[in-house]
Amino acid sequence: MLGCEPSTEEISFDPDLRLTYSTDTITFDTLFTSVGSITKRFKIYNPNDKAIQLNQLSLGTGNQSSYSLTVNGAKDKSFQNEIIYGNDSLLVLVEVLIDPSDQDLPFLVKDSIEIVYNARSENIKLVSWGQDAVFINNEAIACNTTWTKERPYVIYDSAWVAQGCQLTVQAGTKIYIDNDALFTIAGSIVVQGTSDEKVEISDTRLDAKYDEAPGQWGSLFFFPGSTGNLIDHAIIKNGTTGIIMAINLNNGDGAELQLSNTSIQHMSESGIAAFAGTIDAHNLEIFHCQNQLFGGFAGGNYTFNHCTFSNEPNDFTREGASVGFTNYLEFSDGTILANELSLQLTNSIVWGREDEELVVDLSSAAVATVNVERNIIRSADQSWAILNNFISQEDNYPGFYSPNIFNYQIDSLSNARDSALTSTITHDILGTPRDVLPDIGAYERKDSIP
């Protein structure tokens, strides 16, 4: 009996046979020059009973292309005579590495994948946005440096501001920090964003699916004794702990920071972990953290006015309060370091899924001055109510506009509306003026929510 070639392996050169594709365009979000992209893929389908041979599967600009293709485990700019059997498909992987072009603004990098078979020529479009950046890799930032918005700053491994030095960050600047990298401040950092041009501190993955992705980098780490720090109108997101303020175990001192009009979001550990720190904050928003939104340990001086802390919704499994303070720190050997605690929490929202979302745990070994007044707190502890706070465990008692998409503006019937004490904070986190009956939290209710 004579063997015969299966029809699905028999190559046909009939020009009427057509291939189909899983997409006609492959796009990459903004990529940093000299940094490889994520891998994207598409399939070429042969819906015919007979095989088709690709005379050419190549990039339109050839060896000069910023893109590369991988087919059957081989990476190149061009492939010839690839065969797609009948009723089968071919997987093609696409990557892009953009060469520096010395341009401040994002620029377009286009190409195409040319597919030639059976006297036909078809193509898949390739589109990427490139962005030149200033790269910092395990190095100190020069004293009294100013970062501007013309190009983003990309930190690999680590960067630090040395003691006695100051880094100024102007409005609209973007700072991207790579996996597990730390941005350390022993001197001082002054972030000068505006309501129209926020300073963004985030991860290096710019494709859309990483827009809300906790744990992509380490933290802003403030050394003990770091003073003169100011962060105004910033967004800090997708890290492990947004801000860590370390303690000097010899004298119990921490770092100092002023925070205003700033959002800290999507952290795999905590929004802020401060040890004997000094923080003066208003219009501060912290949400979606695996553990605490804010933890103030071993004493310190903390003033919060018109802040919103919310850990609902939260797709993490967690235990304990979202916001907590202590005037002591217990070590693994049982020894305790106690420091004076001064806490002023006013006109703020503390919310989440746990029954008690605010805890103040005090040791008699150190002095504590605690003033918690005119806040909305997720709690059943009646002592908070005595102190002129609104307490509840009712779902969305604060009246957030759309918490499921992390929008913590308040709706028209919010319990936070017109309920705050009058203060010197004249505008909210978005720059909206506060009226004569200001609202509790970081947001002042507007007549219409975008």
pLDDT in tens, 245-275: 999 988 888 999 999 999 999 999 999 999 9
Please determine, for residue 350, whether its predicted confidence score (pLDDT) is greater than 60.
yes
Same domain for 285 and 360? yes
Overall average pLDDT of the 36-60 stretch: 94
Please determine, for residue 360, whether its predicted confidence score (pLDDT) is greater than 90.
yes
Whichever domain contains 83, its CATH number is 2.60.40.10
Overall average pLDDT of the 352-363 stretch: 94
Please determine, for residue 28, whether its predicted confidence score (pLDDT) is greater than 90.
no
- pLDDT tens sequence across 390-444: 999 999 999 999 999 999 999 999 999 999 999 999 999 999 999 999 999 999 9
Predicted local distance difference test score (pLDDT) of residue 5:
61
Boundaries of domain holding 107:
11-130
pLDDT band at 334, cuts 50/70/90? confident
* Inside any domain, residue 327: yes
Least confident of 70-74, 283-287, 299-303, 363-367: 363-367
Same domain for 72 and 154? no
Overall average pLDDT of the 339-346 stretch: 97
Same domain for 107 and 137? no
Among residues 378, 373, 347, 352, the alpha carbon closest in space to that of 440 is found at 347
* Inside any domain, residue 415: no
Same domain for 194 and 212? yes
Q: Look at residue 102 and give its three-state secondary structure.
A: coil
Q: Which residue has the higher pLDDT, 115 or 101?
A: 115
* Inside any domain, residue 2: no
Q: Look at residue 383 and give its three-state secondary structure.
A: helix
pLDDT band at 206, cuts 50/70/90? confident
pLDDT band at 317, cuts 50/70/90? confident
Cβ contact 286:271 at 8 Å: yes
Same domain for 225 and 201? yes
Q: Which residue, 130, 150, 180, sits at the end of a domain?
A: 130
DSSP string, 189-254: EEEE--SSS-EEEEES--SGGGTT-TTSS--EEEPTT--SEEEESEEEESSSEEEEE---TTT---
* Inside any domain, residue 295: yes
The torsion angles phi and psi of 210, rounded to 5 degrees, stand at -105, 15
Predicted local distance difference test score (pLDDT) of residue 2:
47
Please determine, for residue 187, whether its predicted confidence score (pLDDT) is greater than 80.
yes
Cβ contact 371:330 at 8 Å: no
pLDDT band at 341, cuts 50/70/90? very high
Predicted local distance difference test score (pLDDT) of residue 4:
59
pLDDT band at 450, cuts 50/70/90? low
pLDDT band at 94, cuts 50/70/90? very high
Element (H, E) at 386: helix 382-386
Q: Which residue, 95, 111, 130, sits at the end of a domain?
A: 130
Overall average pLDDT of the 127-148 stretch: 92
Please determine, for residue 446, whether its predicted confidence score (pLDDT) is greater than 90.
no
Same domain for 243 and 150? yes
pLDDT band at 116, cuts 50/70/90? very high
Same domain for 48 and 173? no
Same domain for 267 and 315? yes
* Inside any domain, residue 440: no
How many domains does the chain fold into?
A: 2
Overall average pLDDT of the 150-168 stretch: 94
* Inside any domain, residue 94: yes
Please give the share of the chain, as a percent, with pLDDT higher than 70: 98
CA distance 178 to 431: 31
Same domain for 197 and 54? no
pLDDT band at 226, cuts 50/70/90? very high
* Inside any domain, residue 441: no
Predicted local distance difference test score (pLDDT) of residue 99:
81
Cβ contact 42:104 at 8 Å: no
Strand-pair partners of 83: 53
* Inside any domain, residue 196: yes
Please give the share of the chain, as a percent, with pLDDT higher than 90: 80
Please determine, for residue 449, whether its predicted confidence score (pLDDT) is greater than 80.
no
DSSP string, 8-22: GGSB---TT---EES
Overall average pLDDT of the 154-174 stretch: 95
Model pTM score: 0.84
pLDDT band at 1, cuts 50/70/90? very low
Same domain for 139 and 251? yes
Predicted local distance difference test score (pLDDT) of residue 207:
75
Overall average pLDDT of the 195-222 stretch: 92
Same domain for 23 and 65? yes
Same domain for 74 and 188? no
The encoded tokens of residue 76 equal: 């190149």
Q: Which residue, 78, 112, 130, sits at the end of a domain?
A: 130
Least confident of 5-19, 255-269, 371-385: 5-19
Q: Look at residue 385 and give its three-state secondary structure.
A: helix
